């Protein structure tokens, strides 16, 4: 048994399953309603695969109006709803519950409008992250947030979790790139918030909705900012013999007035696994590796690289290598972006997502090593060094009894350490079920109560993705 408990399903809802399904069937075409056990199984988990829950049913609406009808019906019936994008959440954000209906947005996948002059795109929420960039790439534009799962993950999920990515050091995360949404509240009300203008009137509801983990409403459409592609971009690799040197080098680069597009960090175990998988040309004889990417014209890139190289010289780099070709750049990024998958080939892992003040890096890396060795587990560190967002991968063997629990305990200790040094539990993956019970380490009762009041105010019965984000104890319902 793993440590995270699921609330006991509502027996009254389970007993009414047939009637609930019959009700849904009147609202949707037959192919949009999934009830058989075989087909429901595809929705029983997300990328936090240690947890599985077979949902009551799955609905795959194609329009906002259908979403509205479904939510109004389920609200009246008192049935929980778990909205789902592509199911790539590492925090269990899309994990169903036995007494909940999964509402998948995958069929709402149309690009609605591209407006180059105003630099916006309007999409249905089931469009994939990469699909947004794909729709505007031929026009010289892209959508900035770039989570590693961008091939699969949807805009709906990105909005739910306020997803980031490697390039958000310069371009910001989801909340900085969403201008408007169409959303359905639990009672079926359809609301439009924001639009194509740069700011929205009234309270910043968009800011609240982005990152609310599917607990406030179901987003069906979004207006996003698109940005012109840089003239060129080039990554460079920089290896160090100590985490201290590496961390100090990052601080010096940023302190000099240069904000690279990305500064990614890998430690020795992570480098080995990624290199074996992607043959990216990573040096294998270093303790810490930075991938630093800069953008601009040929001259600007050359200038930035020479500035960065000059700064780095003070921090004992043992390798320094600038990508010489498109193919080499692609390989360097392939290694980084497939890190989680590559790691999955050699071991099971828990992927953590704390953020720390960047000055605390050496202390926290030592702490992570100590915590994991205390549990007899290995760890590989991959993270966004420029903004202090850590992704320690705690390795374990799922077939060995007790190892998952140990990994979870180590992960929890790591996140508590992040909070202790002034950081937070999650930088871009979200709380989900995974970190729900850890919220008390970052927030006190007053903080959590006010957040839960907002949940109650906008979803009085707590039907939208309810068993996430907040500790099970101390809830108002």
Partner 1 sequence: MTSILLPDSEAEIEAILADAAATGSPIAIHGGGSRDIGRPVQAARMLSTRAMTGVTLYEPSELVLSARAGTPLVEIEALLDQNRQRLAFEPIDYRGLLGTKGEPTIGGVTASNASGPRRIQAGAARDHLIGVRATTGRGETIKSGGRVMKNVTGYDFVKLLAGSWGTLGVLTEVTYKLLPKAETETTLVFEGLDDVRAVEAMTTALGTPFEITGAAHLPGAPSKTLLRFEGFANSCEYRTARLRDLLAAFGDAEAVRDEDSADLWRAIRDVSPLEAREDEVVWRISVKPTDGPAVAARLRAELGARCFFDWSGGLVWTAIAGPADGGGASVRNLMAALGGHATMIRAPHGLRAAISPFQPESPAVTAITHRIRESFDPAGILNPGRMG
Q: State which residue, 169 or 291, has the beta carbon closest to partner 1.
A: 169
Closest distance to partner 1 from the beta carbon of 227 (Å): 9
477 counts as binding partner 1 under rule CB under 8 A: no
Q: State which residue, 135 or 273, has the beta carbon closest to partner 1.
A: 135
Binders of partner 1 among residues 335 to 394 (CB under 8 A) are 355-359, 384, 386-389
Q: State which residue, 13 or 415, has the beta carbon closest to partner 1.
A: 415
DSSP annotation string for 87-128 = S--SSSTT---TTEEEEE-TT---EEEEETTTTEEEEETTSB
Query: Residues 419, 442: contact at Cβ < 8 Å?
Result: yes
104 counts as binding partner 1 under rule CB under 8 A: no
Binders of partner 1 among residues 161 to 180 (CB under 8 A) are 161-162, 164, 168, 172-173, 175-176
Closest distance to partner 1 from the beta carbon of 279 (Å): 30
Binders of partner 1 among residues 1 to 60 (CB under 8 A) are none
Binders of partner 1 among residues 115 to 134 (CB under 8 A) are 115-120
Query: Residues 287, 243: contact at Cβ < 8 Å?
Result: yes
Closest distance to partner 1 from the beta carbon of 281 (Å): 27
By CB under 8 A, name the one of 451, 461, 471, 472 that touches partner 1: 451
Q: Which stretch binds partner 1 (CB under 8 A): 21-29, 273-281, 339-347, 456-464?
A: 456-464
Closest distance to partner 1 from the beta carbon of 311 (Å): 12
Tell me the pairing of strands 57-59 and 100-104.
Answer: parallel
Q: State which residue, 95 or 469, has the beta carbon closest to partner 1.
A: 469
Cβ within 8 Å of residue 195, ≥6 positions away:
179, 180, 223
Q: What angle do CA 147, 152, 154 make, to 5 degrees?
A: 75
Total of chain residues touching partner 1, rule CB under 8 A = 93
Closest distance to partner 1 from the beta carbon of 277 (Å): 26
By CB under 8 A, name the one of 208, 330, 409, 440 that touches partner 1: 208
β-strand partners of 192: 182
Q: Which stretch binds partner 1 (CB under 8 A): 59-67, 77-85, 252-260, 316-324?
A: 252-260
By CB under 8 A, name the one of 2, 189, 306, 324 that touches partner 1: 189
Closest distance to partner 1 from the beta carbon of 204 (Å): 5
141 counts as binding partner 1 under rule CB under 8 A: yes
**243-255 vs 361-374: helix axis angle to the nearest 10?**
150
Cβ within 8 Å of residue 291, ≥6 positions away:
235, 236, 237, 262, 263, 264, 266, 332, 333, 336
- The contact mask relative to partner 1 for 296-315 (x = CB under 8 A, - = no) is xx-xx--x------------
How far is the C-alpha of 350 from the C-alpha of 474, rounded, in Å?
Answer: 27
- DSSP conformational letter for 50: T
DSSP annotation string for 330-397 = HHHHHHHHTHHHHHHHH-EEEE---B--GGGHHHHHHHHHHHHHHTT-EEEEEEETTTTEEEEEEEE-
Binders of partner 1 among residues 209 to 228 (CB under 8 A) are 210-212, 228
How far is the C-alpha of 407 from the C-alpha of 395, rounded, in Å?
Answer: 7
- DSSP conformational letter for 246: H
By CB under 8 A, name the one of 2, 256, 366, 373 that touches partner 1: 256
By CB under 8 A, name the one of 8, 30, 457, 473 that touches partner 1: 457
The per-residue b/e assignment along 185-202, b for 16 or more CB within 10 angstroms, e otherwise, is bbbbebeebbeeeeebee
Binders of partner 1 among residues 263 to 302 (CB under 8 A) are 295-297, 299-300
Q: State which residue, 55 or 423, has the beta carbon closest to partner 1.
A: 423
**243-255 vs 298-312: helix axis angle to the nearest 10?**
130
Helix (H, G, I), strand (E, B) or coil at 321: strand
């Amino acid at each position: 048994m793993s440590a995270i408990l699921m609330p006991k399903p509502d027996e009254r809802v389970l007993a009414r399953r047939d009637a609930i399904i019959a009700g849904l069937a009147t609202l949707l075409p037959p192919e949009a309603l999934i009830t058989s056990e075989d087909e429901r199984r595809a929705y029983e988990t997300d990328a936090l695969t240690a947890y599985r829950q077979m949902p009551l049913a799955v609905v795959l609406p194609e329009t906002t109006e259908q979403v509205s009808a479904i939510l109004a019906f389920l609200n009246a019936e008192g049935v929980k709803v778990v909205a789902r994008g592509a199911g790539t959440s590492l925090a269990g954000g899309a994990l169903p519950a036995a007494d909940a209906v999964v509402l998948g947005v995958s069929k709402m996948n149309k690009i609605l409008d591209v407006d180059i002059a105003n630099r916006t795109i309007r999409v249905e929420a089931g469009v994939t992250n990469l699909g947004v960039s794909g729709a505007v790439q031929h026009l010289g534009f892209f959508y900035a947030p770039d989570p590693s799962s961008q091939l699969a993950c949807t805009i709906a999920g990105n909005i739910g979790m306020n997803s980031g990515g490697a390039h958000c050091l310069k371009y910001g995360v989801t909340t900085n790139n969403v201008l408007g949404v169409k959303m359905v509240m639990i009672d079926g009300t359809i609301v439009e918030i924001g639009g194509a203008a740069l700011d929205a009137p009234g309270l910043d509801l968009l800011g609240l909705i982005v990152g609310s983990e599917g607990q406030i409403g179901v987003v069906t459409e979004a207006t996003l900012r698109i940005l012109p592609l840089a003239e060129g971009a080039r990554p460079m690799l920089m290896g160090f013999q100590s985490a201290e040197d590496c961390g100090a080098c990052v601080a010096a680069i940023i302190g000099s007035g240069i904000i690279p597009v990305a500064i990614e960090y890998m430690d020795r175990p992570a480098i080995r696994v990624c290199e074996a998988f992607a043959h990216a040309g990573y040096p294998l004889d270093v303790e810490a590796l930075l991938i630093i990417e800069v953008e601009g014209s040929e001259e600007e890139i050359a200038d930035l690289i020479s500035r960065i190289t000059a700064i780095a010289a003070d921090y004992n780099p043992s390798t320094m290598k600038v990508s010489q070709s498109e193919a080499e750049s692609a390989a360097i990024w392939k290694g980084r972006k497939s890190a989680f998958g590559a790691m999955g080939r050699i071991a099971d892992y828990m992927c953590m997502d704390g953020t720390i003040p960047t000055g605390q890096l050496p202390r926290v890396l030592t702490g992570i090593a100590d915590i994991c060795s205390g549990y007899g587990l290995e760890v590989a560190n991959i993270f966004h060094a420029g903004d202090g967002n850590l992704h320690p991968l705690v390795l374990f063997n799922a077939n060995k009894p007790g190892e998952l629990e140990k990994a979870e305990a180590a992960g929890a200790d790591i996140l508590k350490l992040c909070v202790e040094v002034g950081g937070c539990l999650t930088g871009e993956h979200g709380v989900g079920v995974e970190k729900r019970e850890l919220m008390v380490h970052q927030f006190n009762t007053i903080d959590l109560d006010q957040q839960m009041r907002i949940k109650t105010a906008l979803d009085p019965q707590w039907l939208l993705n309810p068993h996430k984000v907040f500790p099970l104890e101390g809830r108002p319902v």
